[in-house]
Structure 1
């Protein structure tokens, strides 16, 4: 895979939630620079406003620009769009799925509290051809992570819903989530899915804490993060960006491979004597793609 090909298949880095009952905020979210906009029917919408929020979907998303992978060469590209529905145990779930089914096919569905492969298959049948983004928010969901990830070809990503998961696990801080985080990263990659995005950081004004948490997540294998305020986007992007030394090392690896190919040799050695293998070369290409995405849409 070339660096440009790797970049084109990378998942969103910044994903911004916007409540569906506030259509006035959607335009701002689409213009925020987020890689994906998550239109929320669930936690951000009060029970009394659920029906009205659902009614806004067709109107507000009809004017949204197509995602970049759809609009390439065909007009103005915008961020990817997903709709987070209410979970299957609520009285709003069926109506949410029916509303999503009427939206353009490029709009994905974000599903909270997924716990069974049968539930995933039911979602796929109800929303044929539509990307399913599964949120694991209970101990049972985490235990079944790989089974859920492989339950349907429509599964496009896994993620954690950490507020509910903390409650279910009865833990108070990020230390108690370490195993669950590692589990979802391994399950996603074992299933051939992108690295998962981290859950939202709820302390909107604590950007230092957000940055530190993002760096810890990146070390575990996460890629990107959901946000609940546009002010968090730049911090998330910067925290996941590779250091300049990492980027330069990756460039050296890619150059060495190209030079070896041009010379007709299968042995690739860096200036410091490091022998390269396939895994190191692929990681270098990933680092360069990551750096390009982290530089922002204008890059």
Structure 2
């Protein structure tokens, strides 16, 4: 079963910045990655735990999914981050640079049954994506495309061709195990047109949403990963036509000159359910 919670936009917020943590309470993002890793300088890493814990204890994030990204367990901060994140009561803990299922086992020894997410950003992680996705505590994957591009020594291409093998392997693994999976960041946060193109590509590939580095990117991502009015209209008409044929017991359903089979009805119902979930999230979340 697919991950039903809306994850169109997943915004990184530094765990060390009280102002940013407060501002996030009013942003139209489906989920927040509260970052203790890349967005926090070395001299702020210890203090960031307390800052983030206070923000989460204060609350005000509504129905947004709250994910805490820790430092790797191979760093001096990782183990303490993991213990602190468990105590914060976030919805999930995100582990960076997961390369094997054993990495998640090591984290679970500290965090217990807290749901886990995995940053997929290493070549070995791509090759082990299926085993990682099968981990019993894993609920989602986040593509770390910047780190992956660095490790692969690729050149930047707008079509992301050098990254397609890795993206595809992780998508297959996530879908096979019913996990959420969100696309990597788009670095040029003032380039709405480029972001829209990359969001459309990710949506067409099957990603649930996109990780974002700036609030200015929220509207583009939310629009791209929401069902369009045309998609909703088609879904309703497909369901109606299929039900009419089933009731009459004759012929096959046809909509817009195309045969409608049961698999199309499954997709149509998922489309309508996603729209309902997005509306419910908007109603539950303060802005």
TM-score, scaled relative to structure 2: 0.89
CA contact (8 A) 2:241 2:255 kept: no
- Offset at residue 11 of structure 1 (A): 4.1
Q: Partner residue of 1:129?
A: 113
1:208 correspondence with 2:203? no
1:190 correspondence with 2:176? yes
**Number of residue pairs the alignment of both structures matches:** 280
CA contact (8 A) 2:185 2:210 kept: yes
Q: How big is the alpha-carbon RMSD for the aligned residues of Structure 1 and Structure 2? A: 2.3
Structure 1 runs of 4+ aligned residues shifted over 6 Å read none
- Secondary structure (helix, strand or coil) at the match of 1:95 reads helix
| Gap change, CA 1:251 and 1:110, over 3 Å in 2 | same
1:28 correspondence with 2:34? no
- Offset at residue 125 of structure 1 (A): 2.8
- Secondary structure (helix, strand or coil) at the match of 1:156 reads strand
| Gap change, CA 1:245 and 1:119, over 3 Å in 2 | same
Q: C-alpha separation between the residues in 2 aligned to 1:213 and 1:137?
A: 18
1:51 correspondence with 2:46? yes
1:254 correspondence with 2:239? yes
CA contact (8 A) 1:13 1:293 kept: no
- Offset at residue 294 of structure 1 (A): 5.8
Describe how 1:79-118 pairs up with structure 2 within 5 A. 79-104=64-89, 106-118=90-102
| Gap change, CA 1:107 and 1:23, over 3 Å in 2 | farther
- Offset at residue 268 of structure 1 (A): 4.8
- Secondary structure (helix, strand or coil) at the match of 2:282 reads coil
| Gap change, CA 1:19 and 1:266, over 3 Å in 2 | farther
Q: Partner residue of 1:154?
A: 137
Q: Partner residue of 2:32?
A: 37
- Secondary structure (helix, strand or coil) at the match of 2:254 reads coil
C-alpha offsets along residues 166-194 of structure 1, whole Å, 9 cap, x if unaligned? 01001122221111111111110012223
| Gap change, CA 1:27 and 1:78, over 3 Å in 2 | farther
Q: C-alpha separation between the residues in 2 aligned to 1:158 and 1:31?
A: 25
Q: Partner residue of 2:264?
A: 280
- Offset at residue 287 of structure 1 (A): 2.2
C-alpha offsets along residues 63-90 of structure 1, whole Å, 9 cap, x if unaligned? 1147xxxxxxxxxx33110111011221
Structure 2, unaligned runs of 5 or more: none
- Offset at residue 136 of structure 1 (A): 1.1
- Secondary structure (helix, strand or coil) at the match of 2:148 reads helix
CA contact (8 A) 1:111 1:133 kept: yes
Describe how 1:159-170 pairs up with structure 2 within 5 A. 159-170=142-153
Of stretches 285-294 and 32-41 in structure 1, the one that deviates more from structure 2 is 285-294
Q: Partner residue of 1:60?
A: 55
CA contact (8 A) 1:64 1:78 kept: no
TM-score, scaled relative to structure 1: 0.86
Structure 1, unaligned runs of 5 or more: 67-76
Of stretches 279-288 and 46-55 in structure 1, the one that deviates more from structure 2 is 279-288
